[in-house]
Structure 1
Amino acid sequence: MAGIYIHIPFCKQACYYCNFYFSTSLKKKDELLDCLIKEIDLRKSELNNDTIETIYFGGGTPSILSTQEINRLIDAVYSNFNVVENPEITLEANPDDLSEEKIIELSKSKINRLSIGVQSFFEHDLKLMNRAHNADEAIKSLQLATQYFSNISVDLIYGIPDCTNEQWRTNIQTALSFGVPHISSYALTVEPETALASFIKKGVIKNVDDDKAEEQFVILTEELNKADFIHYELSNFGKEGFFSKNNSAYWLGKSYLGIGPAAHSFNGKQRSWNVQNNAIYIKKINQKELPIQRETLSVTDSYNEYVMTGLRTIWGVSLLKIERDFGENYSKYLQLQSKKFIKQELLYIENDVLKTTKKGKFLSDGLASDLFMLNLA
């Protein structure tokens, strides 16, 4: 089983914190959509006849497309790949795009999962991040979407300057009030060369507070645990049966094909990524060339990636898999490096699987980097 990710590199406006590749100009939209379909055809043999179980529209802002345009892309996937009978097909959507007419159209398409980028239900937070929607649109989009879709994920951001713990609890409870079965939540991160980084440097916006972010992460896990959500990945919480199949495939090392500018792909042994430039992408695809770079992962690269993804999830890092796939030296190294974190009650071993404790969850990426192998080829 494999997945297909389709990157839609267009947004109405730039969020201050975002470092993903996108354009706010729609001049090349039609031409680029034609090229996405051409790329799907050019790469139809790359997954070695694996059956497709997930299709994911990310961005950018995929909901900026019309339902007809989305359907064209889905049809292109079905024309070139074997697709399971009931695939998970997700559309990332911004609240301001989700009119009732649009939601009804989407509900009649093959899209069966919406990931709605609410981020916050407070006007101040949305303005600070330069989101395209307002708080009323966030509420209205969920009121409408829940009438037509049962599989909905809501994105929320914590650690926003001046967002109090009480307001953060309100954000969580507001999302839960709509009965959504999945929440993805991320700490506000200051990425280099973003507007947010510039504003913080100039003193226009307060810097993020890591301690406050950790506090709000703890609040998040506690509130969602009370609501019977399973914390199956560092930033993802789902009701039973509503885990993101697309994202779970990434963390479990399954193959996926990334279509569009800046999209990444993985086939188990090789990672590749498309050029981050719409004009170059269009030119190359029209010449029937793939604007792509590829990297073959070494044993050490694969080990490090497995440790990183495994520690972020409820599935953890299997010591038996480490020894089987990477060898005894890697297994011994991992267990030796883990000892100090086990002693600090940040990690624990259960049934030969290394996992983060409740205390260690927020630190999982940092813990993983300390377990990386650096000196073996």
Structure 2
Amino acid sequence: MEKYDYEQLVICQDKESGLKAIIAIHDTTLGPALGGTRMWTYASEGAAIEDALRLAKGMTYKNAAAGLNLGGGKTVIIGDPKKDKNEAMFRAFGRYIQGLNGRYITAEDVGTTVEDMDIIHEETNYVAGISPAFGSSGNPSPVTAYGVYKGIKASAKEVFGTDILAGKKVAIQGVGSVAYTLCEYLHDEGAQLIVTDINEEAVQRAVDAFGARAVGLDEIYSVDCDIYAPCALGATLNDQTIPKLNAKIVAGAANNQLELDKHGDLLHQKGILYAPDFVINAGGVINIADELNGYNRERAMKHVDKIYDNLETVFAISKRDNIPTYIAAERMAEERIASLRNSRSTFLQNEHHVISRR
């Protein structure tokens, strides 16, 4: 926590419901920490804590880069989302969130649903992404997909000189809810889709709906394509996969796509443009964050459109300073956080001088 400047780690358990959860709050400089609740079958409690910390830091950068007045946090619940969920578990978790008194706001993530958020909402108002019946935005996946689509267009403009995707080959790893909607946007523009997924039904659905070409799980890295879109779990850009890539662009919806920072360096060295994940996939959190001001769909989507501009800024910094795009994106986020810290520090110093003179 000290090394990466985390603010708070909360370990939660409720024996009767089976709740074992970790809430990690990384940074609240820009505002309350916002980040989803993930439910997963972790190998150990240590692995769950590490994942919560890693994801919380990612949310700090995502929210800052998206221009949101929110900090970064994340929750992981240890358990099988298909077998271990129950109402008492999420209500107990909601009480833990309420106890943080607004320092952390949650939403859905891998393994949790809008319905789960509705249960949490029974105990606290510090939850977003609940059912539209409550005046909320509902499932953020379609908006995440739209943001990724806009990010792919910005990346295409950088590499090909035009953001028109007609005729471009896009290899999509994972065809879950976000990626399926992304496929719709890409197909409507005339892109040629290549897909893979551990779920054969999801693959077949994309083949039937969009005329996509299905390939094996390992084959997706080496297919001849213009754009590789990782939309499954993280760390798929690593020592084994990057040498196989035939794409000119990596731009997708998955979180934590780089296994290690050095893999962002490797993509840069190979001349493959990488759209940093926490910039391109921020559509969902932008949409959810709009709820905090009374949800307005049109306003939220206009903010999501800015992902295109944010990536253009990242690419410009990368070229200007000759640094990999992941470093450029982190620098953009860190500078925004630092500017607010500095302004607060100056304000407090001025206040201290005024009080001293009194």
Instruction: Tell me the TM-score normalized by structure 2.
Output: 0.29
- Structure number with higher strand proportion: 1
- Structure number with higher helix proportion: 2
